[in-house]
Amino acid sequence: MGGPRSTEQNPSVDIVDENGRYHVAVFESDSITKVLRGDKIQGLWCSQLRRAPFGAVDEGDTIYVRQNSGPIVAIAKAGRVRYFANLDSEKVERLRLQFNYYIHADRSHWAELRDANYATIIDLAGAETIEPKELGSGDSAEWLVVNEKQTPRCQSTPG
């Protein structure tokens, strides 16, 4: 499996994976630190509606880590991906008991998720920092799946 490659539309940005897509996931600053240290080796995304990353991530996919309200600052690969549907508060609690050792979310975060219907848990592999890049789309979504033909313009941030 090769690394990310440039796109014809935007050859200066090496962020499209060999499968023609990549992901941008938003993390809080403290979570990014935990991911880069290897303390947080799984990511959790929950929602009431079926939306990305649910059903949209495959093992080996490239995930760009975006700081909440900030630039893309790191890259990781998706390891094992687990999807859970038809959740209720009891099932969310079971997920917390089973996975929180690797997710490192506090109880208040889990409490916010008690009404979720869908959950995605992704093992994060090989996380490393990259030169910060601003995502030019202006999208503030928690998760973006970008196909090669939709590649947003990214620019290095002055440092």
The predicted model scores a pTM of 0.80
Q: What is the pLDDT of residue 146?
A: 82
CATH level 2 (architecture), domain 21-130: Roll (2.30)
> CA-to-CA distance for 137 and 27, rounded, in angstroms?
18
Amino acid letter, residue 42: Q
Boundaries of every domain in the chain? 21-130
pLDDT at 150 over 60: no
pLDDT in tens, 112-140: 899 999 999 999 999 999 999 887 655 66
Cα–Cα distance measured from residue 140 to residue 93, given in angstroms and rounded to the nearest whole number: 28
pLDDT digits (tens, 9 = 90+) for 76-121: 999 999 999 999 999 999 999 999 999 999 899 899 899 999 999 9
How does DSSP classify residue 38?
A: T
